Chain A
């Protein structure tokens, strides 16, 4: 879980950095170029296979662990005190993860598949496939933009627990460095989803 999770976290960083290029005032020319590079470079395409593989392993492991953990207590408590002793999102990783999966299906169907397997995309003034216009068009629909923004809130909470939990599961704990990891984890969980959520907001406002 932790290793696949950390790999997925590293992917988010790359994805987020490239998406941030959309905020440049160049009608998406640089973003299109970066998106095209990511879609055509052989090395990136190879890593992409591992990305999907690790995503599937991450999901399968979570199902296996959840099943094992549910079997460990079949009679639950009448009184509950969970809120006093742990954060709600640390107890809801499965639900948050499932919501992210629903989002991923929508996301891949609307952006990844059309750009990779169809010739739906037009071309920008540099002759590069115009992913920017595709994104812009999608996010000008407020309902669609809202789904994205809400999904990013879900992702933020998933990361808020997942980032530091991954290090703990790998046995990495140190009086000096663990607070640093926790700080980085919190910062990552806020900044990365915020950048993603800024895209629909950006295009909605621009419209």
Chain B
């Protein structure tokens, strides 16, 4: 198939950037979107041009490294899919495909389609952990966990931290990500010792990093490649209100 690609090119963080148009004449419909980008880059290298920089790692839909906003949709038009798992058969011959980086001031563009998502790391460092005693591994079933909660926690933990929720949200809000991270620990007894500080600290860093606030449009859930539910945002709100009301400042 033939494709016209409108790709965002930006030399570095301070460059203004703009769209460049490329023509691909022989795209395999079985290729994944990233493989199509590889073909584009090969073509660019052969023409002595600088290839398009984009993030990728596992190419199996589990690492969350690939990003890109394809025709206005983070990770492309297919529901519950990362860019690497999106295949070219979902596009039609002669189509013009617009490819942009994730847009949020908390995710500055480093080059072309690569954005700096370390703001997510800093949110995680503020509370995305539990305290455990070191030494030999404890008996796994020492602490009973209700099955429903275990499954909910597992669903929340499915978040790969790719940032599509931020990219999709009109407010550039990270509340689905933070909600999932807070939920996965709030639902399990192992997460309870730091429960209150966790939510307060993670939300504080989220605000410092310049993410917007949630207005419940639901766009994040619709675009999430792991289909994380907005119920996590409501749990985040609940955890936050409860922590705010119960924590006594020293």
Across the interface, do B105 and A73 meet the contact criterion of CB distance under 8 Å?
yes
| Shortest Cβ distance from residue B171 to the other chain A in the assembled complex, whole angstroms | 4
Q: Tell me if A80 is interfacial: C-beta within 8 Å of chain B.
A: yes
| Shortest Cβ distance from residue A149 to the other chain B in the assembled complex, whole angstroms | 27
Across the interface, do B98 and A87 meet the contact criterion of CB distance under 8 Å?
no
Residue of B nearest to A87 (CB): B217
- Give A76-92 interface residues, CB cut-off 8 Å to B: 76-82, 84-87, 90-91
A76 to B104, CA, bound (A): 9
A73 to B101, CA, bound (A): 12
- Give B74-88 interface residues, CB cut-off 8 Å to A: 77
Q: Tell me if B11 is interfacial: C-beta within 8 Å of chain A.
A: no
Taken residue by residue from 84 to 111, chain B's Cβ proximity to chain A (1 for < 8 Å, 0 otherwise) reads as 0000000000000010100111100000
User: Which of the 9-residue segments A7-15, A25-33, A52-60, A166-174 touches chain B?
Assistant: A166-174
Across the interface, do B215 and A165 meet the contact criterion of CB distance under 8 Å?
yes
Residues of A within 8 A of B103 (CB): 73, 75-77
Partner of A78, one of B100, B218, B222: B100
A76-B103, A86-B222 are known contacts. Are A69 and B234 too (CB-CB below 8 A)? no
How many pairs, one residue from A and one from B, have CB atoms within 8 Å of each other in the complex? 112
Residues of A within 8 A of B215 (CB): 65, 69, 90, 93, 165
- Give B19-78 interface residues, CB cut-off 8 Å to A: 19, 69-73, 77
Residues of A within 8 A of B112 (CB): none
Residues of A within 8 A of B1 (CB): none
| Shortest Cβ distance from residue A172 to the other chain B in the assembled complex, whole angstroms | 7
| Shortest Cβ distance from residue B216 to the other chain A in the assembled complex, whole angstroms | 4
A75 to B103, CA, bound (A): 7
For this complex, 25 residue pairs linking A to B, each with C-beta atoms less than 8 Å apart, are A65-B215, A69-B213, A72-B105, A72-B210, A73-B104, A73-B170, A76-B103, A77-B103, A78-B19, A79-B73, A81-B72, A82-B219, A84-B222, A85-B218, A90-B218, A164-B216, A169-B216, A170-B237, A170-B241, A171-B238, A171-B239, A171-B240, A171-B242, A172-B238, A173-B234
